[in-house]
Amino acid sequence: MNKAVFLDRDGVINKEIGDYIKSWEAFEFNPGCFEALRKLQSDGYLLIVVTNQGGVEKGLYTEEIAEDILDKMCARLKAEGIDISEYYYSPHHSDFSASLDRKPDSIMMEKGLARFNIDSSKSYLIGDSERDIIAGEKAGLMSIKIDSNQNLLDIVEQML
Ligand SMILES: [Mg+2]
C-alpha cells in the first residue's frame, strides 16, 4: 500500500488572505512550500490536495474558475518537480446545503485513500483549521494543525 500526505490548500500551500481565492492572480505560494513538498515526495509520500471551495456555492466564482486555479497550481508545482497525485475540492457551503464532501467530513480523503490504495495509518493530513483536523481524523490520518501560512518546511522537517 501507498502512503500519502493530504494537504489543505489555503493557508497551507498558498497564502490565506482572509477571503476566497477567486482568481489565479490572488494565489501566492507560501514560503517553504516547494521545498517541503519535494521533501515529502522524495520520502515516498503521494501528495493529494483536499480543499473546501465554498465560494462556488456562494456564487463568488464558478467551478470552472476553481478548477482552473487548481490546475495552474498543479502546473506550477510540476515545474518545481512536484507531482500532485490528485486534488479534490468541495464547491459546497454549509449556508446553502449539507454536504458530506465538505470538510469536516471526510469523503474527499476517503476517495483519495481508495483510489491510490493508501494506508491511512501511515499517512498524514496537514491543515490550518480545526475542520481539517476533524476530517483527517475521521479518515484515520495522522492530522497536523499548523498556523495559517506557517512555513511548511519547518513542519515537514519535524514530521520526517
Ligand atoms: Mg485552510
pLDDT tens for residues 69-117? 999 999 999 999 999 999 999 999 988 888 888 999 999 999 999 999 9
On whether the CB atoms of residues 23 and 141 are closer than 8 A, the answer is: no
Query: Hunting for cell 515529502 — which residue is that?
Result: 40
Q: Ligand 1 centroid vs 151 CA: distance in angstroms?
A: 14
**Whether residue 147 lies in the annotated active site:** no
Q: Tell me how far CA of residue 83 lies from CA of 1, 34, 35, 49, 159, in angstroms.
A: 18, 11, 13, 11, 20
Give the CA distances from residue 135 to residues 6, 32, 74, 107, 142, in Å, rounded to whole numbers and listed in that order.
11, 25, 23, 9, 11
State mean pLDDT over 121-139: 98
Task: Determine whether 83 is an active site residue.
Answer: no
Question: How many angstroms is it from 126 CA to the middle of ligand 1?
Answer: 9
Spell out the domain ranges in the chain.
3-124+134-159
Span from the CA of 8 to the centroid of ligand 1 (angstroms):
6
Count how many Cα atoms sit within 13 Å of the Cα of residue 26 in the half-sphere of its side chain: 15
**Catalytic residue (choose from 8, 105, 128, 132):** 8
* Annotation: CATH topology of 3-124+134-159: Rossmann fold (3.40.50)
The catalytic residue among 10, 105, 128, 132 is 10
Distance 18 CA to ligand 1 centre (A): 10
pTM score: 0.97
